[in-house]
Amino acid sequence: MTAPTAAGCAAPDQSAPLPASLDLEKETVITGVVRSTEGEAVPGAYVRLLDSTGEFTAEVVTSPAGQFRFFAAPGTWTLRALSRYGNGDTTVTAGRGITEATVTVTD
Amino acid sequence: MSRDTALVSADWAEKNLDAPGVVFVEVDEDTSAYDTGHIAGAIKLDWKTDLQDPVRRDFVNKEQFEALLSERGVSNDDIVVLYGGNNNWFAAYAYWYFKLYGHRDVKLLDGGRKKWELDARPLVRDAVSRPATQYVAQPQDTSIRAFRDEVVAAIGTKNLVDVRSPDEYAGRLLAPAHLPQEQAQRAGHIPTAISVPWSKAANEDGTFKSDDELRKLYAEAGLNDGKETIAYCRIGERSSHTWFVLQELLGHDNVKNYDGSWTEYGSLIGVPVVLGDEPGEA
C-alpha cells in the first residue's frame, strides 16, 4: 500500500486505514461492504459511484473483505456493484465525514 | 484506424493466448493486481515506474523505451495486446504511448481486466519471462501529443474535450472520487472545453459503446469534426481512453492527448479557468 498521490489515479487499497492526513471535517467519505444475498462479503466486486443524475463518477474493486471506499462531496449518490455472482445497487445521502453503506448483489 | 484493427474481444484474446507474435501486456498504475492473477503469458508494465521519467515530469525517452521493451521481450514485429484495470485507462494510455513511439501493431482488449474477471475467464499467477529482444523505437510522434502552449492557444479555436467527471469539470471535485480531494492546484476547466466524461464512451462492463453510439455522443456534445481536437483529464490516462475512441475507433485523424492535463493546466500562473457546468467564453 502506498499513499495516494496527486500524480496517481489508481484506487488505493480499499482495506487500508484512512490516511492520517485526511480531514474528515472537509472530506465526504462513503464506505461499506458488498455482500451476497446470504450476507457473505464479496471480494473483487466492481463498485461504481454514480452521481444524482446517474452519471458515473468513480469505480473501485472491493478488498478481500468486500470493502470499498470513495471520497465524494455532500449529496445523494448511487452505489452500483458488479460481480461475477450478480449485480446490485443502493442509494445513499452523504454529508461531511463518514457515511456507511452495504450493497447486496444478486443474480 | 478502426474498431477492427485497434480493438480485440475477450473471445479473440482467449483463442490467441498462445498465438506466435502476439504479446499480451497488462498495464496498471498499481501492478499488485497482476501479481494476484493475470492473463496467461501476459507481461506487466507499470504506468509510473516503467513509463515515467523518475526525475522530471515527462516520459522515458526513446532509448529508455527501447531498453524497457528489449528487456521485457517485445519485438518490433509483435502484435501488442494491452489490457488493464480502471476500465482500461492505463492500457489506453499505454496504447497511445506505444503509438507515440511508433509501434506498428497495437491493440486494446475490449473491457480490459474487468470484463475478463466478470466473465470468469482464467487468470494465472505463473511468472512470465520472454527472451530479450533488440527493440527499436521511432522518434516521438507529436501529432498525437499536445503540450501546454498549444492547449492555451486552442481556447476558442480547436475542440477541447474535458473527459473528467462532471463534478471535476465544474470544479466541485479536484480528483476522481476514489481518491482524497486535497490538492494544491485550482479547480475548474479550460475555457470553451466541452464536457464529455470518458465513462459515456464505455458500457458498465468496461467495453466500448458501438460506433453509432459514440458518433452520436460526440456530435450531441458539440464536437466539430472539421477542427483539430485536444482531449485532457487530470493526468492524461482517462483522456487516452477518449483519444483512443476518437482517433482509433471513429477514425478522426487530428486528435491529440494532453498528458499534462489538469494537474499541469490547473497549476499554471495566469491562464484562464472556468468554474461551473458551462464551457465558458474564450
Nearest CA in chain A to B198: A56
CB contact under 8 A, B178 and A69: yes
Q: Is the predicted pLDDT of residue B58 greater than 70, yes or no?
A: yes
Region B253-257: what's the mean pLDDT? 96
Question: Per-residue DSSP letters for A36-102?
Answer: ETTS-B-TT-EEEEE-TTS-EEEEEE--TT-EEEEEE-SEEEEEEEEETTEEEEEEEEE-SEEEEEE
CA distance B131 to chain A (A): 30
Q: What is the pLDDT of residues B198-219, one digit of tens each?
A: 999 999 999 999 999 999 999 9
Region B111-126: what's the mean pLDDT? 95
| Non-local CB neighbours of B91 within 8 Å, separated by 6+ positions | B25, B26, B27, B82, B83, B84, B108, B109, B112
Question: In the prediction, which pLDDT does B91 show?
Answer: 97
C-alpha cell, B79? 502484435
| Non-local CB neighbours of B54 within 8 Å, separated by 6+ positions | none
Question: In the prediction, which pLDDT does B181 show?
Answer: 65
Chain B segment 33-52 residues within 8 A of A by beta carbon are 33, 47-48
Catalytic residue (one of B10, B13, B94, B233):
B233
Question: In the prediction, which pLDDT does A86 show?
Answer: 93
In this complex, which of A10, A27, A72 lies closest to B29 when CB atoms are compared?
A10
Question: In the prediction, which pLDDT does B182 show?
Answer: 57
Region A39-63: what's the mean pLDDT? 92
Specify whether B67 is catalytic: no
CB contact under 8 A, B173 and A61: no
Question: In the prediction, which pLDDT does B31 show?
Answer: 78
Q: What is the pLDDT of residues A54-107, one digit of tens each?
A: 988 889 999 999 999 998 889 999 999 999 889 999 999 999 999 999 999 998
pTM for the whole thing?
Answer: 0.90
Q: Which residues of A touch B240 (CB under 8 A)?
A: none
CB contact under 8 A, B179 and A69: no
CB contact under 8 A, B179 and A80: no
The one-letter code for the residue type at B278 is E
Q: Which residues of B touch A34 (CB under 8 A)?
A: none
Q: Is the predicted pLDDT of residue B260 greater than 70, yes or no?
A: yes
Region B244-257: what's the mean pLDDT? 96
- For B25-177, where are the alpha helices, taking DSSP H only? 32-36, 62-72, 89-100, 112-118, 148-154, 166-170
Q: What is the share, in percent, of chain B residues with pLDDT greater than 90? A: 88
Q: Which residues of A touch B197 (CB under 8 A)?
A: 55-56
CA distance B151 to chain A (A): 20
More confident residue, A37 or B180: A37
The band of B22, judged by pLDDT with boundaries at 50, 70 and 90, is very high
Q: Report which secondary-structure segment, H or E, holds A103.
A: strand A97-105
Question: In the prediction, which pLDDT does A23 show?
Answer: 76
Question: In the prediction, which pLDDT does A7 show?
Answer: 45
Chain B segment 196-225 residues within 8 A of A by beta carbon are 197, 199-200, 204-205
CB contact under 8 A, A56 and B28: no
In this complex, which of A11, A21, A51 lies closest to B178 when CB atoms are compared?
A11
CA triple A41-A42-A43, angle to 5 deg: 115
Instruction: Choose from A34, A53, A57 for mutation: most chain B CBs within 10 A.
Output: A57
Nearest CA in chain B to A19: B180
CB contact under 8 A, A9 and B167: no
Region B36-65: what's the mean pLDDT? 95
Q: Is the predicted pLDDT of residue B5 greater than 70, yes or no?
A: yes
Instruction: Choose from A1, A5, A9, A18 for mutation: most chain B CBs within 10 A.
Output: A9
Q: Which residues of B touch A58 (CB under 8 A)?
A: 165, 176-178
Which domains are seen in chain B, by residue range?
3-140 (3.40.250.10), 143-265 (3.40.250.10)
Question: In the prediction, which pLDDT does B113 show?
Answer: 95
Q: Facing residues of B195 across strands?
A: B162
A-to-B residue pairs, Cβ atoms closer than 8 angstroms = 104
Q: Is the predicted pLDDT of residue B2 greater than 90, yes or no?
A: no
CB contact under 8 A, B176 and A8: no
The band of B183, judged by pLDDT with boundaries at 50, 70 and 90, is low
Question: In the prediction, which pLDDT does A9 show?
Answer: 64
Region B29-57: what's the mean pLDDT? 91
- Distance CA(B78)–CA(B222), nearest Å, equals 38
The band of B29, judged by pLDDT with boundaries at 50, 70 and 90, is confident
Do residues B232 and B262 make contact, with C-beta atoms less than 8 angstroms apart?
yes
Whose cell is 500500500? That residue is A1
Region B91-96: what's the mean pLDDT? 97
Contact status of B173 with chain A (Cβ, < 8 Å): yes
Question: In the prediction, which pLDDT does B180 show?
Answer: 67
Q: What is the pLDDT of residues B143-168, one digit of tens each?
A: 999 999 999 999 999 999 999 988 89
Q: Is the predicted pLDDT of residue B184 greater than 70, yes or no?
A: no
- Distance CA(B8)–CA(B81), nearest Å, equals 8
Which domains are seen in chain A, by residue range?
28-105 (2.60.40.1120)
Question: In the prediction, which pLDDT does A22 show?
Answer: 72
Q: What is the mean pLDDT of chain B?
A: 94
CA distance A19 to chain B (A): 9
Region B224-230: what's the mean pLDDT? 95
